[in-house]
Amino acid sequence: GREGPGYRYGRDREMARDASRVEAFSDAVIAIVLTLMAVELLQLGEVPSGRGLAEALGHEWPAYLAYVITFAIVGQVWLTHHNMWRYVVRVDQMLLVLNLLLLLFVAAIPFTADLLADNLRGSVADQRLTAALYVGAVLGEALFFNLSWWWARRRRLLHPDLDPRLARAVALRFLLGPVLYLVAFAFVFVDPVLSLCLYLLLVGVYLVRGPGDLPSSAPT
């Protein structure tokens, strides 16, 4: 029934919820990002007369390179998100906001990758500007991964059986991401293509199983 005039709102009266809807929504956003990225980068206009298909495809190599590297980065984001959120047993409002901000940067990655592909053979100033926008997107998602994990630990939103030592190890591994992205960005002043290849190398580093990743096989 209706509360009497003496009713006072209290946060402890709010119902909590698990993380299932957050994971489903995040998976959907990342899937859409990967699809849009393919549409944006894997394009081939009308082949000019006198130029063969092989030559036209070769001319588009910056877009294909950006696609492969960006697919790897977004794929690594999905893997990390998938692994992290299996430890989250409930969510609060702030964790939802942090996850939305993470997805904001993930959704911007295809746009910055398209800019990078278009300007990879442009002026040095354009190369550096687009590289800065690109690293801004990947650095943003990496920072919000760190904040999401920090907040979930701080607010005790993680599984109560999670070993605190494992939680700290995951936090340290997440901190490595922003540092490595900045190192890769620094190489844009040497060679933009080398900088892109370093991003791909960094994704490879994260594919090596570490703290917080799924085990190789189910425990017996």
Q: Is residue 213 part of a domain?
A: no
CA distance 174 to 126: 30
CA–CA distance from 95 to each of 66, 102, 110, 152, 175 (Å)? 31, 10, 25, 7, 18
Q: Is residue 10 part of a domain?
A: no
* Confidence grade of residue 220 (pLDDT, cut at 50, 70, 90): very low
Token reading at 142: 């990496």
| pLDDT tens digits, one per residue of 52-73 | 667 766 767 777 877 888 888 8
| pLDDT tens digits, one per residue of 17-64 | 778 889 999 999 999 988 888 777 776 656 556 666 677 667 677 778
What total number of domains does the chain contain?
A: 1
- Answer whether residue 6 shows pLDDT above 70: no
CA distance 220 to 47: 58
Domain of 85 in residue numbering reads as 17-41+51-207
